[in-house]
Amino acid sequence: MLGVPFRPAVATGGGPLQRRVAQSAVARYGVAVVSVAVMVVLGLLLRPIVLAAGQLLLLAVLVTGWISGLRPALLAWGLATAAFAYHFTLPLDSVKVDPDQVPRLMIFALVAGFMATMSAARRRAEDLLRSARDELEARVRERTTELGESERRYRHIFDSTGVSIWEEDLSRVKQALDHLQARGVHDVGDYLAGHPEFVEHVIALVKIVDVNDASVALFEAGSKEELVVSLLRIFVPETRAAFRKAMTSLAEGRPFFQGESVVQTLKGQRLTVLFTVTFPRPPASFESVLVTVTDITDRKRAEYLTGHVFETSPDAVYIVGRDYRYQRVNAAFERRWRLPAQRIVGMRVDELAGTEPFEATYKPHLDRCFAGEEASFVGWFPTPAGRQYLAATYSPLRPDSQRVEAALAITRDLTDHARAAEALQQAQAELAHMTRVTTLGEMTASIAHEVNQPLAAIVADANASLNWLASATPDLDRVREALAAIVKDGHRAANVIQRIRQLVTRTVPQKARLDVNDVIRDVVPLIATEVRSHEVSLRLDLAVAVPPVVADRVQLQQVLINLVMNGMEAMTSIADRPRELVIRSRPHEGGQVLLAVEDAGVGIDPSSVSRLFTAFFTTKRDGMGMGLSISRSIIEAHGGRLWATSNARHGATFQFALPALR
C-alpha cells in the first residue's frame, strides 16, 4: 500500500538512479543516512500535528531498501528505529522510553525490519527481471539487425542475380489443394491430369508477388509490372505438364520441386527452362514462395545436336576412358558388335575387339591419343559380322582439364570399298592375264616361227651329222661343230618358250629391282618375228647407264610388247618411207627412268587422243582395245605415268616413266 505510489517512480526514474547508486557502497549507505535524516526532519515538522508522523521513518527504510538493497536497508532500519525511539516515543526527544510505549516501539521496529527485507527482496527481483528484459531487448535488437541484413542480402541477390527468380504467393493454391485432399482426392497428380479446367483454375490462383530484373530480361518484358500480371502470359500448352508435377509435389508436402519445361517470353519466343520451387515447411506461410528459372535453351539445343549426331551417325562413334573401357557408344557401334550399348559400356576394348587386335593396334593408338595426339589407322578387324575393313580416328577428350580423360573414336566401315577395290584389282589382274594370253594368241604364228626356226636348224644339223658319221671316214670336226650349233639352237628355242611361259602363267605381280635395258633386251627376241613380218626395222637406242627401277619384269615386258605391237600396227599402211621403230631408254627428270617406243606410222588421230587409253577403244578391226588401257594401269600401279605424243615429222611416241630406285 505504501509502495504503490512509488512503483512508477522506481520503474521509470528509479532505474538509472539505482544503477548510479549501486556503483558505490558509500552512496548506497549514504542513502540510508540521508533518507532517515530527511524523514526525521519531516517527522519533527509534522509531530505537533500528529505524533504518528514518526512513522514516516518507515518510508526511509523502504526507500533505502528499494534503492540500495538489503544491507543499507538494515542500516536505515537501525537508524530509523533509534530516531523513532528518541523523537517519536514518549518521553519525546529522550533516549528514555515509557514502558507503555515499548509495544509501539517494537511494532515500529518489526514493521520497519519487515519493510527493509521486503523492499530489498523486491528490489532484487526487480533487478533480475530488468536485466532479463534488457537482455531480451538486446537480443531482439541484434536479431532485428541480423534479419535486416539478411533481408538486405536477399534483396540484393534477388535483384542482381542473373538467374530469373519469381516470388509467388501460393497460399490460395495451397488452400485449394488442401481442400481437394480434404474432399478425399489422394492422387493429386492423377486428378490434375484428368481435370485440365481445375489446373487452369489453380494457375489463376497463383499470385505473382515480385520478379527480379533477370526475369524481366529473360522474358523480354518492358517492366516487372508487365510480368507479374499472370503466369498465363508465359505458359504454353507444354508448361501445364510441369506445372501439374510441381503442384503434385506441393500437395504431397515435398520440400522442393525441380523440372524442365518450355515457356514463352512476352514476345512469343519459346524457351527451354529448368525451374526450381522451394516450398515452405508447414506451418510457414505460402505467401512468399521462390521459383528460380534457368534458361537452358542453348544447352538443350547443343545437347540435342550432339546427341543427334552421335546417335544417328552412320559411323560407329564411341568414347574410351584411360582404363581402356567403353564409356559411351552409339547405335552404329551397337550394330557392328551386335550388342546393346548397356552391355558394351564398362567392357574393356580387348574384351570386345579381341586381345590380339587390341595389343597390336587399338592400344598403341589409344595410348598416343591419351598422350594428346590424334591417331588414325585402317585395317581389317574381326567383328561378329565377319572381317571388316575399318578406318578409325581417335581424338583426345579433355572435358575440364589439360589431362586427356578419354578418347573419342570415330570408325568408318570401309569393308565394301575395300572389297570392291580388291575385286577390281582381281579383275584387273585377270584382265591383264587375259590380254596377255590374247596378245600371245595374236602372236602365236610369230612364236611358232620363233621356236620352229631353231628347231629346224637343229634337225638339219643333226641330219647332217648323221650323214657325216655314216661315211667311211667321218669328218668328226664338222660333226662337233654341228653338235655345238645344235646345243646353241636348243637353248635359243628353250629361251623363247621360257619367256612365253613367264608371260602366260604368272598373274601375281612380283616386284624386284631391275634394269629397263634388260627388259628391252628380253622383249626383242619375242617380237623379232613380228618385226620381220611387218617389214619393220627395229632400232634400240639405250642409255649406257639408267638407274634401276623396282617393277614386275613380266608386266613391264607386257607393256613394252603392247607398245611395240601398236607401233608396228601403225606403220602397216606406210609405203613411202622406212618403217622404223625405235625403242629408247633414258634417265628422266625428277629421278625417273623413261622408256619410249617411237614409230613412223600414221600418227595419232587428234579426235581420239583423249580415248586412247580407255578400255575397249581400238582402231584395229580385230583388237580388243585393252592393250593401252591395261598398259597404263600397270604403269600407274608402279607409281609411273604412260602417255603418247605425236612426233615432229611422222608417227607417234608412246612412252612411260617410272620412279628410279635411289
By CB under 8 A, name the binding residues for other proteins. 445, 448-450, 452-468, 478, 482, 485, 488-489, 492, 532-533, 535, 537
Residue 624 CB, shortest distance to other proteins, in Å, is 23
Measured from the CB atom, the residue of 51 and 531 that comes closer to other proteins is 531
Q: Which residues are within 8 A (CB) of 351 and not within 5 positions of it... i.e. 6 or more apart?
A: none
Name which of 280, 338, 289, 335 is nearest 312 in CA terms.
335
Measured from the CB atom, the residue of 203 and 479 that comes closer to other proteins is 479
Measured from the CB atom, the residue of 223 and 473 that comes closer to other proteins is 473
Q: Are 40 and 57 in contact (CB under 8 A)?
A: yes
SS3 510: coil
Measured from the CB atom, the residue of 400 and 477 that comes closer to other proteins is 477
Residue 478 CB, shortest distance to other proteins, in Å, is 7
Residue 448 CB, shortest distance to other proteins, in Å, is 6
Residue 580 CB, shortest distance to other proteins, in Å, is 12
Measured from the CB atom, the residue of 479 and 514 that comes closer to other proteins is 479
Residue 536 CB, shortest distance to other proteins, in Å, is 8
Measured from the CB atom, the residue of 449 and 553 that comes closer to other proteins is 449
Burial state string for 97-109 with b = 16 or more CB within 10 A and e = fewer than 16:
beeeeeebbeebb
Measured from the CB atom, the residue of 465 and 555 that comes closer to other proteins is 465
In the chain, the largest separation of any two C-alpha atoms, in whole Å, equals: 214
Residue 453 CB, shortest distance to other proteins, in Å, is 5
Q: Measure the CA–CA gap between 265 and 230, rounded to whole angstroms.
A: 13
How many Cα atoms within 13 Å fall on the side-chain side of residue 87?
26
Q: Measure the CA–CA gap between 419 and 414, rounded to whole angstroms.
A: 8
Residue 498 CB, shortest distance to other proteins, in Å, is 18
Q: Which residues are within 8 A (CB) of 495 and not within 5 positions of it... i.e. 6 or more apart?
A: 525
Residue 469 CB, shortest distance to other proteins, in Å, is 9
Q: Measure the CA–CA gap between 451 and 493, rounded to whole angstroms.
A: 5
Residue 645 CB, shortest distance to other proteins, in Å, is 28
Measured from the CB atom, the residue of 426 and 533 that comes closer to other proteins is 533
Q: Which residues are within 8 A (CB) of 282 and not within 5 positions of it... i.e. 6 or more apart?
A: 253
> What's the grid cell of residue 608?
581420239
- First-to-last C-alpha distance (Å) of the chain: 133
Q: Measure the CA–CA gap between 319 and 409, rounded to whole angstroms.
A: 6
Helix (H) or strand (E) holding 139: helix 102-160
Which residue has 595410348 as its cell numbers? 367
Measured from the CB atom, the residue of 82 and 460 that comes closer to other proteins is 460
Please classify residue 601 by burial: count the beta carbons closer than 10 Å to its beta carbon, then call 0-12 exposed, 13-18 middle and 19+ buried: buried
Q: Measure the CA–CA gap between 18 and 22, rounded to whole angstroms.
A: 6
Residue 578 CB, shortest distance to other proteins, in Å, is 12
Measured from the CB atom, the residue of 397 and 479 that comes closer to other proteins is 479
- Helix residue ranges per DSSP H, 228-376: 239-251, 297-312, 331-337, 341-344, 349-353, 355-357, 363-370
Q: What is the dihedral of CA 422, 425, 426, 432, to 10 degrees?
A: 180
Measured from the CB atom, the residue of 75 and 500 that comes closer to other proteins is 500
Q: Measure the CA–CA gap between 410 and 222, rounded to whole angstroms.
A: 48
Residue 456 CB, shortest distance to other proteins, in Å, is 4
Measured from the CB atom, the residue of 110 and 466 that comes closer to other proteins is 466
Q: Are 239 and 270 in contact (CB under 8 A)?
A: no
Residue 574 CB, shortest distance to other proteins, in Å, is 15
Measured from the CB atom, the residue of 214 and 451 that comes closer to other proteins is 451
Q: Measure the CA–CA gap between 453 and 533, rounded to whole angstroms.
A: 14
Residue 482 CB, shortest distance to other proteins, in Å, is 5
Q: Measure the CA–CA gap between 642 and 658, rounded to whole angstroms.
A: 9
How many Cα atoms within 13 Å fall on the side-chain side of residue 125?
6
